[in-house]
Structure 1
Amino acid sequence: MSFTATSSILARSLGLYSSSSTSVRALSTCSTASNLPRTTKLSVGGRAQHLLPSSLRSSSFLPASSSTTFTSSSRLSLSPSHRSYSSTPSLRSSKRISSTSDLSIEPIFLPPHSSSSKSSHSLHLKIDSPSYGIEQTLFSARWLRDSDVSPVSVSQDTGQKRHRSSDVDDEIALRAGGSSESWEVIYPGGVEGVEEPTLRIDWEGSGMRSTGLVADKKRDPSSSSFIPLSLLARQSKLNPLSESYPALPPVIPWTTKTLLESKSLFLHYDDFLSKDSSLHDALTQLRTYGLVFLKGVPSEETSHDKCELRKLAGRIGEIRNTFYGEVWDVKALGRKSRNVAYTNVDLGLHMDLLYFENPPRFQFLHSLRSLAKGGNSYFVDSYRAATTLLHSSRPTFDYLTRAPIPYHYRSLSPPHCLSHSHPLISLSPFPPHQITHLNYSPPFQAPLDAKDSDRMMDAMREFEAELEKEEGRFELKLEKGDAVIFDNRRVLHARREFEETEGMEGEERWLKGCYVDGDAGWDRWRSLEVRKAREGVELD
């Protein structure tokens, strides 16, 4: 199995390209993209292998021109401007720099990060290349070895990592005594699917500790790592992990006025079903505003197995099954109701299934019948309320990100007993700690902690004052053939009381619903973005 196998598997997993035979040769002399051989090989640990393409590539970090000339590695004197890392007593430098175009590399030795380390020092490489967006960043040699994308580290059969990060040796060392001959830029060009320069680093030995979990125990006495320069560029940024894949569209808190100004609030179902451009618009709208409506959805088939909702939701992702089923009906059942949603009374703002540890992200509701008097639906953006609270009452905001609110659901027939607590405002655990979702569902709220109840009630009152502002409420009646998709972790939904004709209870207002998890939707959006970038054309 060649390097090509690994490259194809990983690139196909991101939808970057489809190729059965691609390879390039390591450059040791001046070259440009235009004069590269089209089918050659490079040496990896003494074996002829193909170079893995840019499975982690981000085109935004590529240089403006693709005709950059790369020279062979050469030793240069360490100028004062390159001594910034070696000016303190705790750092030692080899005082060698390799320059390829404007890329410079300098080995640096730091004290070990952990007292348990076997080594007296920790090897790092200071890498700088303005044209590739690498901003004088210090990379641990262990990280560089761990980030190798060659067949030594990535399975050629599955495209998956073959070692644990902790398997990298503390005493990892560069080959050739750490001279500039230990690294080189490989410049792919003129070969399908290989579209970016990659840094090759040669190690003394495998660079790995002996471990039973490493798939290939018979390693070469020396090995090389291959790291795309775009990965190094991403890692030199403040938030590198967020740029590994296409970044989701920004979230925009909305009022009714700004929501109505969005271009994709209402879409036609036929376009949504048949055109990827319309699907992309719907997913972008869902991310940005958390709410999108589809018009003209067929409503004749009402069974769970054959309903149009399955096709609609499947366009975005796999339907999530719950104890309500994959799909379910929302209609007045009178005394048979096991949920306030299955009545005709006013149902206030809430989110679904907060008694789950991981409630579903997307909720779908398709209107099959709309003859009842009343029953308008309305929606409110909880993000807007939370961000307003952040600026107007920071102590209350902070409290609502920490204090738990319990939710529960109990049923004797069929038997269910679910309970989970969430803070009202959930933040990402990593800086900059942005709002990820909210948790608000009064109908299913369990008793508050008695010791902290007054403070919680006061804080919730401040939050609810923002929710109740008329400017933030979007209200309409779902007519037959309308469908709404909304972010259940962001957009609160509610329903006005309604009346049905006597003898027609449960038949004049009838919705069919289902859930899809957020990962499925964002996967679909990113895949469409990658396809746009790969083909260089707009979606059909």
Structure 2
Amino acid sequence: MMHYAIQKAEVLDGAHLMQIFWQDGAESLYPAVWLRDNCQCSDCYLDSAKARKLLIEALDVNVGIKDLTFDGKKVHVTWTDDHCSKFEADWLKKRCFSHQARARLQRELFLPECQYWGSELQLPTLDFEDVLKNDERAYQWLSTLKKVGIVRLTGASDKPGEVLKLGKRIGFLYLTFYGHTWQVQDKIGANNVAYTTGKLSFHTDYPALHHPPGVQLLHCIKQTVSGGDSEIVDGFNVCRKLKEKNPRAFQILSSTFVDFTDIGEDYCDFSVQSKHKIIEIDDKGQVVRINFNNATRDTIFDVPVESVQPFYAALKEFVDLMNCKEFKYTFKMNPGDVITFDNWRLLHGRRSYEAGTDITRHLEGAYADWDVVMSRLRILRQSVQNGN
């Protein structure tokens, strides 16, 4: 790890700002109120929990610096109320308020950016057992999942329970009304369209929840001879194309709240209702999540009557783009394969297959939350970087 050295530290703006000149030639500014809020002494900070003890009620937002001393490695601040704080050089450098430093830190915290793809995708593949046993392989798995949106793991058994092992590897799975894990197979009186032999068009799972699961794990236990092929599409890539081709359609889908519903009985009885924009964007206009499942889109549609037809036209355009040859990737899962993918980004579907007297196709599925996956990814990265 690189260590930074302080050349000079001084107080500006009538004691409300500290400026640091670094030996590498860079300069940083730190507001006094932020420094006081982040005092690292044992009265203000609980090191064992890495958490702040100082209350906002006890913080003087107009606090001033009374005295400042420094050496190459740290800064000592005495405040106007005589409280003392000490800040390490590396700690300060990492938290510099310059645009570049903030952007670098955000990249570090949220890890790799997306790599868009279409039909040319080379499906990233790793060995299931390697991922369970080896931290470098597990790091590769989760960082690729974040970057590309899908990873196939091969060499699992053809018995249920494998997705549970991956859940333990990450931390824990995401429980829904369909259970800790669920079986995708043809079922009599199916409570979900996935539990039939019919074609499933492109969808994300579970937009009926206000917080749809971030990651999906699907383990192939049994595969039918004909049909049942999986289809995937990079939703973020399709959104980019839609915005370029038909900005109005993009605007409609990213601003109209659509009702989703799911009613039935499984892990327990349920009556779920939610509202989502099909294309969800952040404050910078970046697409952060797709929420679309045609099967659970409600018959109730809470929009003015004149908005209905334009919405359908926009949605049709979006779905037609997904089905374009250049965007979708088709493959067939074999027994022992586990596909793990980003349910906020990828839309997935499957081709129909023939119904028989026996179960000819059986997948076991589970969900994980992106917060849990990202937590494990950060821990694994630390472990791999430290060579543990």
The residue number in structure 1 matching 2:13 is 108
Question: Please, which of 26, 36, 46 is the counterpart of residue 155 of structure 1?
Answer: 46
The residue number in structure 2 matching 1:416 is 270
- Structure ranking higher on relative contact order (CA contacts 8 Å, 6+ apart): 2
Secondary structure of residue in 1 paired with 2:336: coil
Structure 1's 174 and 293: CA in aligned 2 closer, same or farther, altered over 3 A?
Answer: same
The residue number in structure 1 matching 2:99 is 238
Question: Please, which of 239, 247, 254 is the counterpart of residue 394 of structure 1?
Answer: 247
Report the CA distance between 1:426 and its aligned residue.
1.5
Matched to 1:525, the amino acid is: L
Separation in structure 1 between the aligned mates of residue 220 and residue 25 of structure 2, nearest angstrom = 51
Separation in structure 1 between the aligned mates of residue 26 and residue 60 of structure 2, nearest angstrom = 25
Ranges in structure 2 where 5+ consecutive residues have no aligned partner: none
Question: Please, which of 128, 151, 156 is the counterpart of residue 269 of structure 1?
Answer: 128
Q: More strand per residue: 1 or 2?
A: 2
Tell me, yes or no, if structure 1 residue 333 matches structure 2 residue 195: no
Secondary structure of residue in 2 paired with 1:405: strand
Contact 1:367 1:478 in 2 (8 A): yes
Contact 1:382 1:491 in 2 (8 A): yes
Question: Please, which of 256, 264, 279 is the counterpart of residue 119 of structure 2?
Answer: 256
Tell me, yes or no, if structure 1 residue 319 matches structure 2 residue 173: yes
Question: Please, which of 105, 120, 127 is the counterpart of residue 19 of structure 2?
Answer: 127
The residue number in structure 1 matching 2:198 is 345
Report the CA distance between 1:396 and its aligned residue.
3.2
Structure 1's 222 and 363: CA in aligned 2 closer, same or farther, altered over 3 A?
Answer: closer
Report the CA distance between 1:154 and its aligned residue.
0.6
The residue number in structure 1 matching 2:147 is 288
Counterparts of 1:86-105 in structure 2 under 5 Å?
101=7, 103-105=8-10
Counterparts of 1:94-243 in structure 2 under 5 Å?
101=7, 103-109=8-14, 123-131=15-23, 135-137=27-29, 139-165=30-56, 167-175=58-66, 182-187=67-72, 197-205=73-81, 221-226=82-87, 228-238=89-99, 240=102, 243=105
Separation in structure 1 between the aligned mates of residue 269 and residue 380 of structure 2, nearest angstrom = 42
Q: Which stretch shifts more, 357-366 or 407-416?
A: 407-416
Contact 2:46 2:53 in 1 (8 A): yes
The residue number in structure 2 matching 1:437 is 289
Secondary structure of residue in 2 paired with 1:398: helix
Tell me, yes or no, if structure 1 residue 496 matches structure 2 residue 351: yes
Question: Could you tell me the percent identity over the aligned residues?
Answer: 24
Separation in structure 2 between the aligned mates of residue 167 and residue 132 of structure 1, nearest angstrom = 36
Secondary structure of residue in 2 paired with 1:499: coil
What are the superposed Cα offsets for residues 119-157 of structure 1, whole Å, 9 maximum, x if unpaired?
xxxx521514354685453x3211110122221311255
Separation in structure 2 between the aligned mates of residue 457 and residue 133 of structure 1, nearest angstrom = 57
Secondary structure of residue in 2 paired with 1:474: strand
Contact 2:173 2:180 in 1 (8 A): yes
The residue number in structure 1 matching 2:260 is 407
Secondary structure of residue in 2 paired with 1:183: strand
Separation in structure 2 between the aligned mates of residue 433 and residue 105 of structure 1, nearest angstrom = 39
Structure 1's 496 and 268: CA in aligned 2 closer, same or farther, altered over 3 A?
Answer: same
Contact 1:127 1:134 in 2 (8 A): no
Report the CA distance between 1:450 and its aligned residue.
4.5
Contact 1:235 1:241 in 2 (8 A): no
The residue number in structure 1 matching 2:330 is 475
Question: Please, which of 525, 528, 532 is the counterpart of residue 377 of structure 2?
Answer: 525
Report the CA distance between 1:508 and its aligned residue.
1.2
Separation in structure 2 between the aligned mates of residue 412 and residue 276 of structure 1, nearest angstrom = 39
Separation in structure 1 between the aligned mates of residue 227 and residue 25 of structure 2, nearest angstrom = 58
> How many residues are treated as equivalent by the alignment?
382
Structure 1's 230 and 320: CA in aligned 2 closer, same or farther, altered over 3 A?
Answer: same
Contact 1:382 1:438 in 2 (8 A): yes
Separation in structure 1 between the aligned mates of residue 47 and residue 162 of structure 2, nearest angstrom = 41
TM-score (norm 2): 0.90
Ranges in structure 1 where 5+ consecutive residues have no aligned partner: 1-58, 69-99, 110-122, 176-181, 188-196, 206-220
Matched to 1:375, the amino acid is: G
Report the CA distance between 1:433 and its aligned residue.
4.3
What are the superposed Cα offsets for residues 290-343 of structure 1, whole Å, 9 maximum, x if unpaired?
1111111111x33xxxx2221123222311111111011110013x21110000
Please say which structure displays the higher CA radius of gyration.
Answer: 1
Report the CA distance between 1:522 and its aligned residue.
0.8
TM-score (norm 1): 0.66
Separation in structure 2 between the aligned mates of residue 478 and residue 412 of structure 1, nearest angstrom = 29
Secondary structure of residue in 1 paired with 2:295: helix
